[in-house]
Amino acid sequence: MSKVLRISKGAEQGVQELLKFLLESGKVKGVLTLTKINNNGAVDYSLITNSEMLKDALPLFPLMPANAGKLLSRFTLKSALAEPIAVVVKPCELRAFIELVKREQGSLENFLFISSTCDGVYPLEISSNGEVAKKLSKYWDAVKKGDIAPDIRPTCSCCKYFLPYNADITIALIGENIDKECKIFLTTEKGKKSVEGMKGQLVEGELKTQEVKNLLNKREENKKKLFDNPALMQDGLSGLIETFGRCIGCHGCSRVCPICYCTLCTFDSKDYENEPSTYETELKKRGGMRVPPNTILYHIGRLTHIGISCVGCGMCTDVCPVDIPLSTIFLKVGGEVQQTFNYIPGKSVEEKVPLTIFEKEELTEVED
């Protein structure tokens, strides 16, 4: 059970009001939220300090134009925030940010994290042609019922971590009557303090309702279906070649990946410019080779580098111009790696990334 601030307004409006209150009372100096760009349904993250401008804010809009975890890390890479800022992010974006902070790519200081129970986001390709607007009513219906929303990102439809970790304030959406009331869960002391003085009814509430538990089961089932689908990827090298063979090498997946934080990726660096002699030896062995080489290496390499921290946000699939189901593959393989170390990326900022620590007695099964 935790403290809940209940406002008798729709969820979207309630959050807007919360943001307005936070700004106008001076509890935060700025707000980072999704904001409307035009009337086609396109949104983007904006940092807002003038409360007038909040009228275009769509904090709960089911789109992820960029993983906010990456944006927050960029804010705080050089130094921590000097003034408090409230951010409204999806649970996986918050997890990604926590992962980045653990990798010393940002700082949590002065952030007020507002998140919600999340029913997923739509793929970006439908974000600018007005398609999203048509789907919204169905989306919110699914949220109210606690169903998997139709047509959302595949990784969203099997995401188990839709209750946010580390949020100060959590907006309850799934299974709630979001047209009539907005339930603002104050999950930390900081969250409680920040809403002091705000109009509303302070009650006790439980975030993990039966609807939430049911959705968890539905997603678990969906995950099995998605991962075991033979169309996802065939086993072995031939499967890899078939799936990644169509990769055009744009490296967009690493560009948008919140965990891939290197400004110069090793696979884009000079290390991967080959000497003519490399081509010669390869050609002597094989009698032919794909140009440029190292496509499969890039993808498995990326799996070894970030698989342990993959939050399954689905950005990579979204930006892939040749429709490789990257995020599903990464979530499947990464999930197995994470399970080896009993690790949930972004769950706790104190828990170290498994590859940076060790136990003296462990994993004897991998030694020979």
Binding site for other proteins (CB under 8 A): 233-241, 245, 266, 282, 285-290, 293-297, 300-301, 303-305, 307-308, 332-333, 336-337, 340-341, 354-360, 362-363, 366-368
Residue 322: CB minimum distance to other proteins, A: 14
CA atoms within 13 A on the CB side of 25: 15
Question: Euclidean distance between the first and final Cα of the chain, in Å?
Answer: 49
Taking the least distance from each CB to other proteins, the nearer of 53 and 322 is 322
Q: Strands across the sheet with 182-186, in order?
A: 43-48, 30-36, 85-88, 111-116, 169-172, 182-186, 2-7, 201-205
What is the Cα–Cα distance from 92 to 318, expressed in whole angstroms? 15
Taking the least distance from each CB to other proteins, the nearer of 167 and 306 is 306
CA atoms within 13 A on the CB side of 84: 14
Place of tokens 């090793």: 266
Q: Would you tell me the crossing angle of helices 295-306 and 326-340 to the nearest 10 degrees?
A: 40
| CA dihedral sign, ordered 17, 149, 152, 312 | positive
Residue 100: CB minimum distance to other proteins, A: 19
Residue 238: CB minimum distance to other proteins, A: 8
Residue 340: CB minimum distance to other proteins, A: 5
Taking the least distance from each CB to other proteins, the nearer of 38 and 342 is 342
Residue 294: CB minimum distance to other proteins, A: 7
| H helix or E strand, kind and range, residue 115 | strand 111-116
Taking the least distance from each CB to other proteins, the nearer of 204 and 358 is 358
What is the Cα–Cα distance from 178 to 200, expressed in whole angstroms? 15
Taking the least distance from each CB to other proteins, the nearer of 203 and 363 is 363
**Of residues 134, 161, 86, 114, the one with CA closest to residue 343:** 161
Taking the least distance from each CB to other proteins, the nearer of 218 and 272 is 272
Q: Would you tell me the crossing angle of helices 326-340 and 210-228 to the nearest 10 degrees?
A: 110
Judge contact between 25 and 221, C-beta under 8 A. Answer: no
Beta-strand pair 30-36/85-88? parallel
Residue 366: CB minimum distance to other proteins, A: 5
Taking the least distance from each CB to other proteins, the nearer of 177 and 234 is 234
Residue 298: CB minimum distance to other proteins, A: 9
